[in-house]
Amino acid sequence: MTIVLNPDGVSIAGCTLIYAPKTQALEYAPLACNPYRGCGHGCAYCYVPLVTKQDRREFDEGAVPRKNFIHRFLGEAAKYQAAGITEQVLLSFSTDPYHPGNTERTEWVLEKLIEHGLAFCTLTKGGTRALANINLFRPDRDAFAATLTTLDDAFSRKWERNAALPADRIAALKAFHERGIFTWVSLEPTLDVEASLSIVDATHEFVDLYKVGRANYLKAITTTIDWESYTLHMIDRLHAVGAKHYIKKDLQSYLPVNYPNPLRIPQRH
């Protein structure tokens, strides 16, 4: 068993189900797991089919549990346990752990991560669907995160047609916060500057951390937003409400010189 030292964490060579993400995803988590293939949320901006070379229609039809997963997952979890690695594993980058279909596989994965000494974080647009598993989350180990692009239902339906509506995602964040679980919000993609700034105003009382990114692969948006102005406005707003934050690499060139922007803020209480 070879333990790989990543810039900010560790993983085990050869493990592909509990793995160290690369490039942009690495900014979100040192370890990740994708228990499904596909995702039924149908986000218009989703780049997963493009990056993973999946047929978009098939991907949008819904999430299905990955084949040959259970035995391999248990083998990999055992390796992490034997190596004494206890970091958070993020679910998920190439699917959503609380997609609109059957999410029993998510519950099984969380239970097995606990049994093998690993912590976890779920990142979802499934809103209160995640409450089905709230009892598994441990305040001193785990985290709950939601992606928010807007507070407006019509805008959300246009871009994330089958995802939970913003108010439902916010209700889930509040519920996890009230249980003492660390919460964070992914402000990525940014589709509308004012919408992202308003999300901070509306949620900072029950959100522990914001991760801020831009839009990629969306020419109509990437070329019309002034990203420098957005970055500066966003950090002002985050400072005004005293919110912890991480500005992703795509926006870091717009930050003031020597701006403190630690990659890994502990995501637990």
Contact residues toward ligand SF4 (CB under 6 A) are 39, 41-43, 46, 48, 95-96, 125
Q: What is the 3-state secondary structure (H, E, C) of 50-71?
A: HHHCCCHHHHHCCCEECCCCHH
Q: How far apart are CA 158 and CA 145, in angstroms?
A: 22
Nearer to ligand SF4, 29 or 85 (CB): 29
Q: Is residue 177 within 8 Å of residue 153, measured between CB atoms?
A: no
CB of 176 to ligand SF4, least distance (A): 18
Q: Is residue 34 within 8 Å of residue 93, measured between CB atoms?
A: yes
Q: Measuring CA to CA, how many Å separate 32 from each of 48, 58, 109, 159, 222? A: 15, 23, 12, 25, 27
Nearer to ligand SF4, 217 or 259 (CB): 217
Nearer to ligand SF4, 62 or 116 (CB): 62
Q: Quick one: 202 exposed, middle or buried, by C-beta within 10 A (0-12, 13-18, 19+)?
A: middle
Angle (deg, nearest 10), helices 227-240 and 193-203: 10
Nearer to ligand SF4, 77 or 164 (CB): 164
CB of 71 to ligand SF4, least distance (A): 25
CB of 47 to ligand SF4, least distance (A): 8
Nearer to ligand SF4, 79 or 156 (CB): 156
CB of 82 to ligand SF4, least distance (A): 31
CB of 163 to ligand SF4, least distance (A): 6
CA 103 from chain centre, in angstroms, equals 17
Nearer to ligand SF4, 12 or 91 (CB): 91
Nearest to 37 by CA among 55, 58, 56, 63: 63
CB of 211 to ligand SF4, least distance (A): 14
